[in-house]
Structure 1
Amino acid sequence: MSDPYERSAEYLDIMIAEAWEALAPALADALSNARARTGAVVDLGAGSGRGVRVICDALPQAPVLAVEPSAAMRAVLLARVHEDGELRKRVTVVPGDCASTDWPDGVRAVVALNVIGHLPPDQRRALWNRAARQLASGGVLVFNVTPPFAPTEVERVRMAHVAIGELEYEGWASARPSGVDEITWCMDYQVLRQGRVLAADSVQYRWWVATEDALAAEVAQAGLALRRVGDPGLGLCVLERVSATTSRAG
């Protein structure tokens, strides 16, 4: 299986750091406010481990299963876990994806940030159904949805610029429609010294799009309810079993 992050793993962690400044406290709040108080947390598509650290800080002593299919990203993730004694005790890192990895019984929370677009509609619905079966009472699935919400062209834009030592790192993103409910992202990365390009990489990957209303209808069929949390610009959503939501409202 090809790994779309094989060439971009070198750049991703430093380029998402700024986005996590807003995302981290919103994720922590969503996890802390869940009704479930015991059980493990599953982090799907854990990437370089920024979310793992947030989970561990927000839910002290909860074991974490960090699932990451990309070997290149797992290398960064394992380094982050290994350098922190507390994370080493609580975090298990495994290869795999949403479908192939076994979850512990009675999962307290599932985190799937920047993941849902990687899933074709049938795999997305399978994830909702699995969460409905395996979440503990009061457990949550936290994910995010970001534009575009329909197949459309996205003009090339600089998404990140980071200076480290004498070098600068830039990331550029663009997208084109590639299916009825799909786009293809093109990500360009550059390393520069005083404006001169020293290295460059480009990667493409498929991304399935859906509106929030469409996702709400999908999760309802699985017996889950969707609600938005945090700053609307983050696109952060929480799923709970309908019965748990009804109980809270009552």
Structure 2
Amino acid sequence: MRRTPPHPPHLPDLRAGLGSGATRASRPRRRRAGDRLPGRGGLRHLWGLPEQDLPNTATSVVSDLRERTPMNETARAEHGLGYAVNAPYYDLIFPAPVRATLEGALQTLLPNARAVAEIGPGTGIFTEALARLLGPKAEIFAIEPARIMRAALMTRLARLPEANVTVLPDDALTAELDVELDAVVLFNLIMHFGPDDRARLWRKWAGALRPGGTLIMETQFPQKATAVPEAIVPGGVLGRHRYDTVARADVIDQDRIRWLMTYRTWAGNDLVRTETADFDCYVISDELLAQELSAAGLVPHPAAPADIQAWQRP
């Protein structure tokens, strides 16, 4: 399974305290299918900046705003940035093959779990899958501090009266539970933690597992800090509109890349709206992850599916 860009990268104050990114939204003039993405002129519409003030590239605009607006992701979402841009598209743009792979991993690894923590569930795609898989006798804790994501999560769960899910507005490094866990699920999450915070994360949640309990995440993409060429990820359809995402990644340094994601709304062949967000992510290879999880006292799960990292407490 080729990993897609984060959907979305979750909150750095929840997971790593990364520097802020920059996002802006606009309603551009109508474009036709096959048109190139907005260039210099398009960025003027996208950012609301006068032509003479525009840097030469989107990356330099992002970097400039990143330096001038040092907010964490929670604060940015409260200001209409970051997750406030991404959240309306989250379910529509999540790739079906990735969803099927991750849901399949839950079915394989957690058929009899009775206490599960899901860290950073976003809008609750996999929270719902867990609730349907495990039934009302299982207790699920969904830990999501982003207000806009939590609103979608709780709306989803309100339609599932049999789901035994407790939603906690806490962060991954400080949330406290009073039960031993059969599993901890961390999908589309760990790329937002730097090395020191990952060490804290592993110690905390490895210690929360009962003996034999499992920590589950997906294999990270890319496996090293390298640029990812621009690609279009198809999305869903709502009424007269269809949605897709244009995604690429640029290298920041040897440990991090920056995903730049443009969410597009189409009416037939007309491009009627674009919204863009960027996210800084740590690159974590399978080898590095194995070193860190072994140091936290975990061992590989013998039944881990392909493209899934599953580790157990002995």
Q: TM-score surpassing 0.5?
A: yes
2:93 to 15, 18, 33: 15
Corresponding residue number in structure 1 for 2:195: 121
Corresponding residue number in structure 1 for 2:159: 83
Distance of 1:160 and 1:120 partners within structure 2? 30
Distance of 2:171 and 2:106 partners within structure 1? 21
Distance 1:226 1:209, change over 3 A: farther
Distance of 1:135 and 1:170 partners within structure 2? 38
Q: Which amino acid aligns with 2:108?
A: D
Deviation at 1:21, TM superposition (A): 2.5
2:131 to 33, 56, 63: 56
Distance 1:160 1:96, change over 3 A: farther
Corresponding residue number in structure 2 for 1:42: 117
Alpha-carbon contact 1:116-1:145 (below 8 Å) kept:
no
Distance of 2:211 and 2:296 partners within structure 1? 15
Q: Does the alignment pair 1:224 with 2:291? A: no
Q: Does the alignment pair 1:162 with 2:236? A: yes
Distance of 1:30 and 1:2 partners within structure 2? 36
Distance of 2:182 and 2:105 partners within structure 1? 17
Alpha-carbon contact 1:28-1:54 (below 8 Å) kept:
no
Q: Does the alignment pair 1:209 with 2:283? A: yes
Alpha-carbon contact 1:116-1:144 (below 8 Å) kept:
no
Alpha-carbon contact 2:146-2:169 (below 8 Å) kept:
yes
RMSD: 1.6
Structure 2 length-normalised TM:
0.70
Q: Unaligned regions of 5+ residues in structure 1, if any?
A: 245-250
Distance of 1:209 and 1:155 partners within structure 2? 16
Corresponding residue number in structure 2 for 1:247: none
Corresponding residue number in structure 1 for 2:58: none
Q: Does the alignment pair 1:136 with 2:210? A: yes
Local SS of the residue matching 2:246:
strand
Corresponding residue number in structure 2 for 1:237: 309
Alpha-carbon contact 2:94-2:235 (below 8 Å) kept:
no
Q: Which amino acid aligns with 2:229?
A: E
Task: Map 1:177-192; keep pairs closer than 5 Å.
Answer: 177-192=251-266
Q: Which amino acid aligns with 1:7?
A: V
Local SS of the residue matching 1:183:
strand
**Bigger Rg over Cα:** 2
Q: Unaligned regions of 5+ residues in structure 2, if any?
A: 1-74
Alpha-carbon contact 2:183-2:214 (below 8 Å) kept:
yes
Deviation at 1:17, TM superposition (A): 5.5
Identity %: 28
Q: Which has the higher contact order (CA 8 A, sep 6+)?
A: 2
Deviation at 1:127, TM superposition (A): 1.3
Deviation at 1:76, TM superposition (A): 1.1
Local SS of the residue matching 2:245:
strand
Deviation at 1:2, TM superposition (A): 2.3
Q: Which amino acid aligns with 2:121?
A: A
Q: Which amino acid aligns with 1:27?
A: L
Q: Residue by residue, what CA displacement relative to the aligned partner does 1:150-169 show, whole Å, maximum 9, x if unpaired?
A: 11101110122322211111
Deviation at 1:29, TM superposition (A): 1.2
Q: Residue by residue, what CA displacement relative to the aligned partner does 1:223-247 show, whole Å, maximum 9, x if unpaired?
A: 11134722x3xx2111112xx2xxx
Distance of 1:166 and 1:72 partners within structure 2? 25
